[in-house]
Amino acid sequence: MNADSEPVAEIPFEGVTFDFEAIFRAEYSRIAKVIARVVRDPARAEELAAEVFWKLSRTPKAQGPNSSGWLYRTATRLGLDELRKQSRREKYERLFGFPRPARTPEDLHFENEEHRRVRSVLGRMKTIHAELLVLRSDGFTYEEIAKALELNPASVGTLLNRAEEAFRKGYVRRYGQY
């Protein structure tokens, strides 16, 4: 912490002080990267990452030695919510013929990208399946996934297999490729 910076928050937790800034600095980067996998835009991912920590600051039950798992679960859900909101907005705008801002060459390129397809499929999957795939794709171990999603570690492999199968079916149904 810089000498001239102020503490973000210090939250009492079971008689000890929860060092919020320490966990912020330790986890922020990875949290933002997990969200960026889902929402595409790094700047938006950073805003949502800050939102995750703000939620943590408002959730005393989540504060403590196991707060990391809560952070990643919340981050993944916020990212998926954002993805679904984007999809709904685009669908609604298309449906009602809203004037849309002119698309940039980058937008046009993006529409044909594989990651757009992947995100589209993720946005339509069951939340738990999408969470499993996002965390696993970010390199989380089974144990870390179990901790983040509050699952039995022994069931993570099975659930991942189901999630992959659901993803594959959703992708093929939508894009017809395998």
Partner 1 sequence: MSGAMDSTENTNASEWVRDRLASLAPPSAWEPNADRGLDHFRGRERRANRRRELWRGAALAVLIACIVWLALPATRGIAQRLWDGFYTKDLEAIRFNGPRGDLKGLPQAEFVIPVTGPHRVQSIAQAHQEAGFEPRLPKPLMEQIALGSALLAVNGPIVVRMRINVADLRTALQRRGIDFVNVNVPQSWDGMEILGQTSPSIYAGFKGVTIMQTLPNALVTPAGFALGDFAEIALRIAGLSAPEAHGLRDKFAESGGLFALIPPDAKYSFQEVSLISGQGLLFQNDTDEDDRRKCPFCPGSHELVLTWTTPDRVFQLRSQNLTVTVDQVVAIANSILGQ
**d(Cα 144, Cα 16) in Å, to the nearest integer?**
25
Q: Does 124 bind partner 1 (CB under 8 A)?
A: no
**d(Cα 56, Cα 67) in Å, to the nearest integer?**
8
Nearer to partner 1, 89 or 103 (CB): 89
**Binding-site string for partner 1 from residue 149 to residue 168, where x marks contact by CB under 8 A and - marks none:** ------------x--xx-xx
- Choosing from 88, 115, 173, 174, the residue that interacts with partner 1 (CB under 8 A) is 115
Separation in Å, CA 88 to CA 29, 35, 43, 94, 130: 28, 19, 21, 10, 17
Bridge partners (DSSP) of residue 12 are: 17
Q: Does 148 bind partner 1 (CB under 8 A)?
A: no
Stretch that binds partner 1, among 61-69, 102-110, 129-137, 142-150 (CB under 8 A): 129-137
- Choosing from 10, 12, 22, 29, the residue that interacts with partner 1 (CB under 8 A) is 29
Helix axes 67-95, 142-149, angle to 10 degrees: 80
Nearer to partner 1, 15 or 28 (CB): 28
